């Protein structure tokens, strides 16, 4: 199908200093949990994005020296020449498709505790490091500043030797020493590098000049800057020093990559920020520079992209999360396949991989992080192994993805669900406050399935063991999901919670179905992700008096991994939800509940007409029990196998579709990156 001419502007080449990008799609630097720890996985992931049409593909933060050691985060590294081959492999893959490779050099200063290098961290002023480590950064003297300039220049030269086309001077997100020098609240110096904005920007201007002198003849030199820190007059603002700095340096870099700070604001989850949420902050940049500007906003609509370009706000459509959800987003627009785009849902499960130091995963794109280790491609899949039929029971995230992928392979697939709409758990959860965009997981797959002649979806079609046997499919896959339990069994109470007869106990399914108690509600959250907070918000919005109790020391504590814990807790506090942390729900009564401090065991009573237990989900396994041993091919996927995140369910469905008909793996079912011992092993012990 030909490209819609409305989108032609997105495919114009754009000059960036001495290099030219083939279109306006720009994958900005983003972490991925791979980096130096899983370099083959990192390189192949970036290569696939170039194949998918991104004209510029950038690294994550790349360390330039042991005094800015990100460990345990798995970022990039260019400490010395031995690190060049990893970066070179990535650049080669990107160049294979005519795209430009960008390298985001960084010295993390006060935001690195140097746990591996054990070198004292450096900062503009004496101050503790920003993470919760008993480590303090020392104030840099002039010799340290000269050394930092040398390290950055040397790293820029290494990046060029590796094949980089764009070299970054990184001052974004308050994650770099240069951004710390710029900061009013981190830089307490009284010398030529402190005080006024001109002084605080001196190090940035020096390093920018050093980098241009070193590589600017062949590489574009970019600045990545957070123009607003959302801290008011304490920090940079887009109508204050953020704008002043860009006006000061307007024509100096070859490209401005602009956003807001910190990371949790720049990558705000869809529960709290819609697409284009940064537009108003960065719109001024094009007014004060003639250099190309890239910005982000979780853009997935080509119409919105065109509007940004034609409106003079951006030259490049920047993306991190949308490029993860669909590495082939640019190609799909170029080929007139806009409907095929897997739109990012803004759940930030991708970020949880990085914060957990493992290869990134994605709810929408189950191949993310599997490109090298499993050989999965986001758009290609092996054809069917035989002319066989598949019956999938359950049209939730796992069942939908399994049906879609099997249909892509060419199997004849029947997908049956007892509900009136597809989506399983998401049919309900997408209606919780802030989670509407998560419904894209369902919408994308039902649309794709609807285009497949050999895949049929039947709703309001409950299946029994007898009807499944009578159906006669060659393969039966059970994606029957899981249900929240009402017995209180969970992490804190492995044997359950004692409950008085006649007490009203609800589950999240009851709340999502519309049940509203006639009095105060107590929510016990032993799950620690989004459900407890979302249910509390839903009940409170409907006028219920709500108390949320959790054995953790804060609400939804796992959502730190998705950069939203502070927002969840703030939202509940603003709504008037009473929050009781560090307490277990030790007994449920008919008119109240007993809470026990997890530290002292001291108890207190809480009045409630009903308790909502957010503790664990139990697989719906009756069909599997009845069918086990009676069919030639029977499998469980997703929550029916092991309840987890939506991303885990989608991955499970995709994996089963990939592996159907393949020989079972012998040993580890994916490739591993093994560390080789150096030539001087064994080390001397004297």
Give the catalytic positions in this structure. 31, 170, 173, 266
- Spatial contact of 606 and 522, defined as CB atoms under 8 Å apart: yes
Helix ranges, 170-293 (H): 177-182, 197-200, 202-215, 241-248, 263-266, 279-282, 285-288
Burial of 36 (0-12, 13-18, 19+ CB in 10 A): buried
Measured distance CA(95)–CA(19) in Å, rounded: 13
- Chain-centroid distance of CA 461 in Å reads 35
Query: Which token pair is 551?
Result: 């054995």
Measured distance CA(65)–CA(88) in Å, rounded: 18
Measured distance CA(636)–CA(402) in Å, rounded: 11
Measured distance CA(120)–CA(67) in Å, rounded: 7
- Chain-centroid distance of CA 20 in Å reads 29
DSSP state, 499? B
Q: How many CB atoms are located within 10 Å of the residue 336 CB?
A: 13
Measured distance CA(239)–CA(290) in Å, rounded: 19
- The dihedral over CA atoms of 427, 648, 37, 77, expressed in degrees to the nearest 10, equals 0
Measured distance CA(654)–CA(405) in Å, rounded: 6
C-alpha closest to that of 423 among 658, 634, 639, 633: 639
The Cα-based distances of 117 to 151, 178, 325 in angstroms read 16, 21, 35
Numbers of helices and strands, H then E, in the chain: 23, 29
Three-state SS annotation for 19-85: EEECCCEEECCCCCCCCCCCHHHHHHHHHHHHHCCCCEEEEEEEECCHHHCCCCCCCEECCCHHHHH
Contacts of 354 (CB under 8 A, 6+ apart): 31, 32, 33, 73, 74, 360
Query: Which token pair is 487?
Result: 């017995």
Contacts of 271 (CB under 8 A, 6+ apart): 346, 433, 434, 435, 530, 564, 567, 568
Strand ranges in 554-645 using DSSP code E only, listed in sequence order: 578-580, 583-588, 592-597, 603-607, 610-614, 617-619, 634-636
DSSP state, 493? -
């Amino acid at each position: 199908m030909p490209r819609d001419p409305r989108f032609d502007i997105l495919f114009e080449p754009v000059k960036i200093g001495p290099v030219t990008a083939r279109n306006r799609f720009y994958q900005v630097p983003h972490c991925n949990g791979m980096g130096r720890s899983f370099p083959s996985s990192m390189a192949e992931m970036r290569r696939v994005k170039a194949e998918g049409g991104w004209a510029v593909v950038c690294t994550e933060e790349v360390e330039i020296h042991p005094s800015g050691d990100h460990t345990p985060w798995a970022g990039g590294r260019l400490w010395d020449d031995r690190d060049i081959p990893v970066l070179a492999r990535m650049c080669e893959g990107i160049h294979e498709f005519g795209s430009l490779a960008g390298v985001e050099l960084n010295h993390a200063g006060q935001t690195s505790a140097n746990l591996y290098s054990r070198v004292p961290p450096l900062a503009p002023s004496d101050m503790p490091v920003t993470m919760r480590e008993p480590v303090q950064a020392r104030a840099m003297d002039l010799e340290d500043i000269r050394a930092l300039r040398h390290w950055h220049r040397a790293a820029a030269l290494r990046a060029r030797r590796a094949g980089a086309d764009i070299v970054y001077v990184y001052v974004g997100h308050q994650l770099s020493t240069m951004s710390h020098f710029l900061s009013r609240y981190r830089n307490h110096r009284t010398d030529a590098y402190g005080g006024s904005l001109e002084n605080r920007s001196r190090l940035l201007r020096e390093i920018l000049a050093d980098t241009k002198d070193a590589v600017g003849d062949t590489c574009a030199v970019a600045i990545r800057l957070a123009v607003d820190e959302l801290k008011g007059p304490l920090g940079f603002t887009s109508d204050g020093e953020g704008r002043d700095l860009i006006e000061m340096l307007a024509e100096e870099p070859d490209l401005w990559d602009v956003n807001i700070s910190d990371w949790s604001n720049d990558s705000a989850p869809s529960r709290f920020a819609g697409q284009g949420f940064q537009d108003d902050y960065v719109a001024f940049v094009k007014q004060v520079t003639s250099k190309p500007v890239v910005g982000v906003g979780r853009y997935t609509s080509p119409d919105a992209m065109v509007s940004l370009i034609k409106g003079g706000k951006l030259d490049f459509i920047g993306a991190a999360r949308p490029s993860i959800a669909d590495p082939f987003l640019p190609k799909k627009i170029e080929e007139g396949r806009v409907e095929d785009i897997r739109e990012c849902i803004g759940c930030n499960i991708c970020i949880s991989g990085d914060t957990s130091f493992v290869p990134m995963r994605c709810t929408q794109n189950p191949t993310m992080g599997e490109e090298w280790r499993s050989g999965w491609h986001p758009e290609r899949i092996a054809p069917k192994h035989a002319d066989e039929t598949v019956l999938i029971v359950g049209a939730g995230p796992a069942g939908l993805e399994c049906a879609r992928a099997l249909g892509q392979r060419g199997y004849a697939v029947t997908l049956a669900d007892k509900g009136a709409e597809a989506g399983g758990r998401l049919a309900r959860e997408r209606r919780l406050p802030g989670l509407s965009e998560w419904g894209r997981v369902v919408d994308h797959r039902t649309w794709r399935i609807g285009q497949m002649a050999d895949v049929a979806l039947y709703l309001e079609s409950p299946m029994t063991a007898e009807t499944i046997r009578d159906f006669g499919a060659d393969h039966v896959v059970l994606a029957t999901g899981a249900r929240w339990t009402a017995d209180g069994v969970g992490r804190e109470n492995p044997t359950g919670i004692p409950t008085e007869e006649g007490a009203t106990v609800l589950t999240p399914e009851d709340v999502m179905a519309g049940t509203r108690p006639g009095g105060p509600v107590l929510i016990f959250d032993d799950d620690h992700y989004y459900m407890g907070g979302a249910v509390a918000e839903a009940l409170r919005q409907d006028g219920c008096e709500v108390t949320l109790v959790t054995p953790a020391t804060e609400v939804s504590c796992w959502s730190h991994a998705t950069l939203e814990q502070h927002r969840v807790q703030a939202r509940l506090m603003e709504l008037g939800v009473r929050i009781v942390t560090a307490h277990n729900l030790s007994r449920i009564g008919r008119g109240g509940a007993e809470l026990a401090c997890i530290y002292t065991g001291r108890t207190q009573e809480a009045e409630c007409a009903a308790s909502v237990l957010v503790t664990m989900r139990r697989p719906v396994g009756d069909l599997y029990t009845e069918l086990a041993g009676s069919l030639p091919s029977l499998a469980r996927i997703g929550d029916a196998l092991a309840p987890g995140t939506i991303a885990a369910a989608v991955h499970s469905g995709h994996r089963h579709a990939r592996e159907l008909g393949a020989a079972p793996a012998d040993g580890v079912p994916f490739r591993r990156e093994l560390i080789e011992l150096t030539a001087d092993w064994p080390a001397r012990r004297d």
